[in-house]
Amino acid sequence: MSAIKSAARRLMGETRLWHSLCVARYHLERKKGTLRRLYRTNPLVHRVRDMTPGLVYRRLQSPDFYGGFYFDAPKDPWEYSGYGGEYVDVDDFRQLAVQVRDLLGARSALDVGCAKGFLVRALRRQGVDAWGADLSEYAVNTAPDEVRPWLRVGRCQDLPFPDSLFDALILMETLEHIPPPELDRTLEEIRRLTKRWVLATIPALGATAFGPGHALLPDMRPIPFFEPMVDLTPFRSLQRDLYGYPLHGHVTIATQDFWTALFSRHGFARRRRLEESVKEAVDTMRKGDWIPFVFERAADGGATKPLVRQWDMGFRELGGAWCSEILRLPAGRHLMRISLRLSALPPPQDPNRRCLHARAISLDGETMHGTCLLSRREVRKIESRGLLIISIPMACPEEGEVLVQVQGEPGLAFVPAAEVVFRSETGWDAPAAAPAIIPFPAYPAVEAEDDSVAFSDQPFSKRKIAL
C-alpha cells in the first residue's frame, strides 16, 4: 500500500487533487475513530456483549431482528447486521435452480430461510414445485407477488409441512444463524422433510471439499487430513456489530468438518463430485463467496432391532493415520465404536482445539460417509485409564466399500484396538444377537434354519489395502 501511495504522490505531486484526497482521508479516519470510541464506551453495547449466550440466541431467533432494517436499510454491512440495502434478485438463483432440477433431479424443493423468495421464484420458473419458509414475517410479507402464495413463516426447528414431502431441501446461508444448541433439532427436521437431497451453502472455515487427504495415493496410502484448528468458534469470539450482537446474526461459525460430522450424525453422506459440479455452475460459488455442501440421505433401517457385531478390523498405520481394512457395507445407517489405547495425552492448553479426527470415506474419495471430531477438552473428559472410545456414525445411501481412518495431533499417541463394535440399523435381514468375533473379510450374519446365527458365503469385500 505504501508503494501505491508513493507512486500516486509522484504522479500528482502537490496538486489540488492530491490535497483533496488527503483531506478526505483525514476526515474518514477521524470518523472511523469516533465510531470506534463510541462503540467502546457505549454502555448498551457492553450490556449486550455481557449477555449470556441464551439471551442473545433468543433475541436473534425472534422475527424482530430480521425486519426492515436487516433487509432493506442502507448501511455498512461490516458495521451493522443485514444486507445493507443490497438484497436483490441475482442470476445466481437461476443458475442454482437449474442445478437443483438437472443435477439433483428434484421435482419438488423447499427453500429453508428463503427470505423474500427469490430462489423459490427461480425454481418455480424452472418447473420445480418449490416452496419457501423463513423466520422473518417482514421478508415473507414483502416478497414479490408472483411467489408470495408459496411462502410460509416458520422456524427451522418446526416447519409446517408433512413428512418426506420434498425431493430436495435448500439452505442458502441459513445454518450459521441457528444457535449450536438448536442444530440437532434442526437436522432432525431437515431429515423428516427431505426424501433424498440437501443442498446448503454455509460460510465455513477450513479447506474446501473434503480438505487434504480426500483421496488415496496410488499405493493406497492416505494423505494426512488432520487440521489443527478450532472446529466451533466460541461465543465470546464471534464478530459483533455496533450494537454488540453477532454480526448478521451468525452465531455458529464452524469448520467444514464440523458441518460434515453434524450431518453424518443424522444420516447424511456428503457428495464431493456433486459439490464441484454445483460450484462450477454458479458464479458466486465459483468466486468463493458461497461454499456448497451436497448431502444425500441414507434410508432408515428396516430391522426392528439393530444388528450388533464385533469385528477384527486390522488397523494399520499408514502415512500418519491409522487405516482399517476395507469394508463393504449395505445401504443404511451404521455406528462404529473404536477403542483407542492411549500412551500420551495432548497438552491442556487451548482446550477447544481439535485433537482427534476419525472418518469413514469411500475408496474413490467421492463420498464422506461419516466423521467424528474430538477436541482436547473432550478427549480428556471421556478418556478413562488410558482408554478412549470413539463413535463414528456412518450414512450409506447405497451399498459400497468404505475405508475408516483415524488421525490425531502429534501430542496424542494411541493405538486402535483390533476389535471394534459395529451397530447397524439396517439389520441385513438378520435378528439381533450376542456379539461375535468376525475375522476379516467380514461375512454378513444370516438366520439359519435352527434359529441360530450363521455366516453367508459372500464376504463384504474381497479387496484389501495394497501394502
Gyration radius from the chain CA atoms? 26
Q: Would residue 466 count as lying in a domain? A: no
Q: Would residue 49 count as lying in a domain? A: no
pLDDT of the residue at 196 = 95
Q: What residues does 403 pair with on adjacent strands?
A: 361
Which residue ranges in the chain fall short of pLDDT 70?
Answer: 1-51, 85-87, 208-225, 301-307, 425-467
Q: Alpha carbon of 443 to those of 200, 308, 310, 436, 437: distances in Å?
A: 37, 13, 12, 12, 11
Choosing from 236, 262, 297, the residue where a domain stops is: 297
Q: Torsion over CA of 72, 74, 76 and 82, rounded to 10 degrees?
A: -10
User: Nearest-CA neighbor of 209 among 264, 266, 278?
Assistant: 278
Residue type at 62? S
Same structural domain for residues 318 and 273? no
Element (H, E) at 369: strand 367-375
Q: Would residue 80 count as lying in a domain? A: no
With a CB cutoff of 8 Å and minimum separation 6, the contacts of 18 are 8, 9, 12
Q: Would residue 104 count as lying in a domain? A: yes
DSSP string, 23-76: HHHHHHHHHHHHHHHHHHH-HHHHHHHTS-HHHHHHHHTSTTTTSHHHHTS---
Same structural domain for residues 319 and 435? yes
Cα(24)–Cα(392) distance, rounded to whole angstroms? 58
Angle at which helices 16-41 and 2-12 cross, to 10°? 150
Choosing from 297, 327, 352, the residue where a domain stops is: 297
Q: What residues does 86 pair with on adjacent strands?
A: none
SS3 state at 333: strand
Cα(305)–Cα(411) distance, rounded to whole angstroms? 40
pLDDT of the residue at 5 = 59
Q: In the numeric block, which cell numbers belong to residue 305?
A: 432391532
Which residue range forms the structural domain that includes residue 411?
A: 307-455
pLDDT of the residue at 400 = 86
Same structural domain for residues 329 and 255? no
Q: CATH number of the domain that 179 lies in?
A: 3.40.50.150
Same structural domain for residues 326 and 418? yes
Same structural domain for residues 111 and 221? yes
SS3 state at 11: helix
Instruction: Tell me if 330 sits within 8 A of 443, measured CB to CB.
Output: no
Q: In the numeric block, which cell numbers belong to residue 304?
A: 426392528
Cα(399)–Cα(366) distance, rounded to whole angstroms? 14
- pTM (predicted TM-score): 0.80
Number of domains into which the chain is organized: 2
Same structural domain for residues 314 and 289? no
Same structural domain for residues 181 and 269? yes
Q: Is 327 exposed, middle or buried (0-12, 13-18, 19+ CB in 10 A)?
A: buried
Same structural domain for residues 226 and 178? yes
Element (H, E) at 99: helix 91-102
Cα(462)–Cα(175) distance, rounded to whole angstroms? 41
Same structural domain for residues 183 and 256? yes
Q: Is 334 exposed, middle or buried (0-12, 13-18, 19+ CB in 10 A)?
A: buried
Cα(438)–Cα(182) distance, rounded to whole angstroms? 39
Q: CATH number of the domain that 431 lies in?
A: 2.60.120
Q: Would residue 467 count as lying in a domain? A: no
Same structural domain for residues 289 and 312? no
Choosing from 242, 272, 297, the residue where a domain stops is: 297
Sign of the torsion angle spanned by Cα atoms 277, 261, 265, 344: positive
With a CB cutoff of 8 Å and minimum separation 6, the contacts of 25 are none
Same structural domain for residues 238 and 351? no
DSSP string, 432-448: -----EEPSSP--EEE-
Q: In the numeric block, which cell numbers belong to residue 51?
A: 449477555
Q: Would residue 138 count as lying in a domain? A: yes
Instruction: Tell me if 327 sits within 8 A of 442, measured CB to CB.
Output: yes
pLDDT of the residue at 83 = 83
pLDDT of the residue at 329 = 84
Per DSSP bridges, beta strands 400-408 and 307-312 are unpaired
Q: Alpha carbon of 95 to those of 98, 100, 108, 212, 363: distances in Å?
A: 5, 9, 17, 29, 31
Instruction: Tell me if 281 sits within 8 A of 95, measured CB to CB.
Output: yes
Same structural domain for residues 232 and 355? no
pLDDT of the residue at 269 = 96
Q: Alpha carbon of 55 to those of 51, 60, 141: distances in Å?
A: 6, 9, 27
Q: Would residue 230 count as lying in a domain? A: yes
Q: Would residue 261 count as lying in a domain? A: yes
Q: What residues does 390 pair with on adjacent strands?
A: 338
Instruction: Tell me if 444 sits within 8 A of 460, measured CB to CB.
Output: yes
